[in-house]
């Protein structure tokens, strides 16, 4: 059975869940800016607000240490439920490996009455369920990178997070093999951190079982930001030494092409027009 | 060996390759609007320009029949090479199953001196290689759909085009199996057309080999536009009768959840915080 979504909203409290794109203010959707403007309280890393600039002036800014994602999502729901129009903000698309999913996981937990453990009998928040939630998508890093070098995502692609903090490595490894078997272009999110350095090399070795060492690879660091750097390399040459937590790593499929036109370089993934061209 | 991209540009002609998002003018990046403003000539379907509104006033609009993608990309390069600042425009992200890759494929062909066939000896265009190209990414339909229903793309996902006009069905089928094996959330682009109706049903049947019939599915038609409609269904119930060429079909992974909170419904794909919650 299918159900049409009722559009009616009858809540008095509002939480915007907002993605602000890769960094360049000119890639922030007007809808995202409007959501920030409409909010009195912002829950975000300080860096993201710096990128947004003066639209954040006069708002109450709530920050929490890196890694406190659950606390951040709870705080956003609490603020909104208390009547403060709130924006939970991340860079990129907040729906892609970011905070949006956690908000709905917390709601789901409340709906299931699972709120009690581990925070005790008092961790029941029916008021969260009355918050009107609106998610505003943003341009993700893979898109900024693909556009910066041409058209790397021109055909079927996938994304894989290489962080095994929340996902068992076995699952990640299974997806790397599936990516190889399916010959998907792939963008790696969370390719490394200070403590995690081997995953990207293992990912490379797995993909090398399926596609050539000459496969084009983009390393896009701080994409669209002032200190952006773009490196063209190959799957065979991909190494964690050249990757940090600010780097988007995208690997072409077996047909992706790295082309050089004078001082300009591009990577594109053909869709199959060749026979018609 | 890795190569740093030289940022210097020394061309006199400019082609913007611009994605304008799913439809809502408030999801168009300012950078995309600025590219349109800076152009004298626009190559696009009329519908896309209608969505953009008055920013297109006074521009020369070049349209070509549906299906004339190659002609469209050639025209954009020709206009730009002739000195007219040109914008090649599509909805969504022009780098994802859209025109951007074709522009670079045409350039690649010129670089390789493959321009002669099939259009004869005169089909050599060194002037295309002097065009400065800038690709502006946009929010893709899968992102608009995922945000509209919560956080469907919260964990690893892939995209598969179900059009076998340019891609052999064997390749598509291979990717459907890989998607199933990898348990990726998947968004289907080009799920059906007037002439193609069986592909989405076959895709469903393949995925059913890997994930339950109860897996949440989003049918998002005309996303973010005035006549948007959202349907929640399941993999088992997915059928081509309920899908047309304006429909975004996204299928959850085996952990995606469809939750109902009063009159509101959501789909989210958890990232794995559950053990911490």
- Cα gap B26→A18, rounded to integer Å: 13
* pLDDT digits 0-9 by tens, B205-225: 999 999 999 999 999 999 999
Span B114-118, average pLDDT: 53
Which of A24, A171, A259 has the CB atom closest to B31's CB atom? A24
With bands split at pLDDT 50, 70 and 90, how would you rate the model's confidence at B3? very low
Chain A partners within 8 Å of B106 (Cβ) = 277
Give pLDDT, residue B46.
Answer: 82
* Residue B219 sits at the chain A interface (C-beta within 8 Å): yes
Cβ–Cβ contact B138 with A under 8 A = yes
- pLDDT tens-place string over residues A228-260: 999 999 999 999 999 999 999 999 999 999 999
Check CB contact under 8 Å for B139 and A29: yes
Minimum Cα–Cα distance from A10: chain B residue = B263
Least confident span in A113-117, A228-232, B45-49: A113-117
Q: Chain B residue closest to A2 (CA)? A: B233
Question: Helix, strand, coil % (nearest 5) of chain B?
Answer: 35, 25, 40
Interchain contact, A27 vs B181, CB within 8 Å? no
pLDDT of A8 higher than 50: no
ipTM score assigned to the predicted complex: 0.93
Residue B213 near chain A (CB below 8 Å): no
With an 8 Å Cβ cutoff, is B34 touching chain A? yes
Give the end-to-end CA distance of chain B in Å, rounded to a whole number.
Answer: 45
Identify the weakest region by mean pLDDT among B19-28, B60-69, B91-100: B60-69
Q: What integer pLDDT is reported at residue B121 of this predicted model? A: 63
Per the prediction, chain B carries an average pLDDT of 92
For residue A146, is pLDDT > 60? yes
Q: Which tens digits make up the pLDDT trace of B119-162?
A: 656 779 999 999 999 999 999 999 999 999 999 999 999 999 99
**Nearest 10 degrees: Cα torsion B39, B42, B44, B45:** 120
End-to-end CA distance of chain A: 45
pLDDT interval class at B114 (50, 70, 90): low
CB contact under 8 A, A155 and B101: yes
- Tell me the C-alpha to C-alpha distance, in Å, between residue B217 and each of A145, B226, B274: 29, 22, 22
CB atoms A147 and B135 under 8 Å: yes
Instruction: Report how far Cα A266 is from the mean position of its chain's Cα atoms.
Output: 24
Token digits of residue B96: 């994802």
Percent of chain B clearing pLDDT 70 (strictly above): 93
CB of B226 within 8 Å of a chain A CB? The answer is no
Q: What is the pLDDT of residue B211?
A: 98
Asked whether the beta carbons of B176 and B160 are under 8 A apart, the reply is yes
Q: Do A4 and B230 touch (CB under 8 A)?
A: yes
Nearest residue of B to residue A237 by CA position? B1
How far is the C-alpha of B25 from the C-alpha of B11, rounded, in Å?
Answer: 31
Q: Residue B70 and residue A277: Cβ atoms within 8 Å? A: yes
Whole-number average pLDDT of chain A:
92
Residue B120: per-residue pLDDT:
59
Distance of CA A193 to the CA centre of its chain: 16
Scanning the structure block, which residue is given the tokens 């006549």? Answer: B227
Please judge whether A109 and B277 are an interchain contact, meaning their C-beta atoms are less than 8 angstroms apart. Answer: yes
Give yes or no for A159 touching B (CB within 8 A). Answer: yes
Kindly state whether A222 is in contact with chain B, defined as any CB-CB distance less than 8 angstroms: no
| Residue of A2, A209, A222 to mutate, interface with B, max B Cβ within 10 Å | A2
- For the entire predicted model, the pTM comes to 0.94
Please report which confidence band the pLDDT of residue A85 belongs to, taking 50, 70 and 90 as the band edges. very high
Torsion angles phi and psi, residue B224, rounded to 5: 65, 5
Assess whether pLDDT exceeds 80 at residue B183: yes
Judged against a pLDDT cut of 80, whether residue B117 lies above it is answered with no
Q: Which residues contact A197 (CB under 8 A, 6 or more apart)?
A: A240
Partner residue facing B101 (CB), from A29, A109, A269: A269
DSSP H helices, chain B, are: 30-38, 46-52, 69-81, 100-111, 116-119, 141-148, 169-182, 199-207
Whole-number pLDDT of residue B134? 98
Note the pLDDT tens digit of each residue in A44-76: 988 888 889 999 999 999 998 878 999 999 999
Phi, psi of A157 (to 5 degrees): -145, 165
Which of A177, A257, A265 is opposite residue B3, by nearest beta carbon? A265
Instruction: Report d(CA A256, CA A151) in Å as an integer.
Output: 9
> By the 8 A CB rule, do A245 and A192 touch?
yes
**Number of neighbours of residue B246 by Cβ within 10 angstroms:** 15
Segment holding A32, helix H or strand E: helix A30-38
Contact B203/A at CB under 8 A: no
């Amino acid at each position: 059975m299918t159900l049409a979504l009722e559009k009616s909203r009858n809540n008095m409290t509002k939480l915007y869940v907002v993605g602000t794109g890769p960094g360049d203010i000119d890639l922030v959707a007007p809808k995202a800016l409007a959501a920030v403007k409409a909010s009195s309280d912002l829950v975000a890393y300080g860096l993201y607000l710096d990128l947004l600039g003066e639209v954040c002036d006069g708002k109450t800014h709530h920050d929490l240490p890196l890694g406190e994602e659950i606390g951040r999502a709870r705080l956003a729901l609490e603020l909104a439920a208390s009547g403060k129009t709130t924006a939970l903000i991340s860079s990129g698309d907040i729906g892609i490996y970011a905070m949006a999913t956690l908000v709905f996981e917390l709601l789901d937990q409340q709906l299931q009455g699972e709120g009690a453990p581990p925070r005790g009998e008092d961790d029941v928040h029916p008021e969260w369920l009355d918050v009107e939630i609106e998610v505003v998508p943003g341009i993700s890093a893979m898109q900024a990178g693909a556009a910066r070098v041409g058209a790397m995502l021109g055909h079927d692609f996938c994304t894989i997070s290489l962080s095994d903090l929340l996902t068992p490595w076995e699952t990640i490894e299974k997806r790397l093999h599936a990516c190889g078997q399916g010959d998907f272009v792939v963008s790696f999110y969370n390719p490394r951190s200070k403590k995690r350095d081997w995953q990207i090399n293992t990912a490379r070795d797995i993909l090398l079982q399926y596609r050539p060492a000459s496969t084009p690879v983009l390393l896009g660091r701080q994409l669209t930001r002032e200190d952006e750097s773009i490196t063209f390399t190959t799957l065979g040459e991909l190494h964690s030494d050249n990757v940090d937590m600010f780097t988007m790593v995208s690997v072409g499929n077996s047909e992706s092409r790295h082309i050089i036109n004078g001082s300009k370089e591009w990577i594109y993934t053909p869709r199959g027009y060749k026979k018609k061209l």
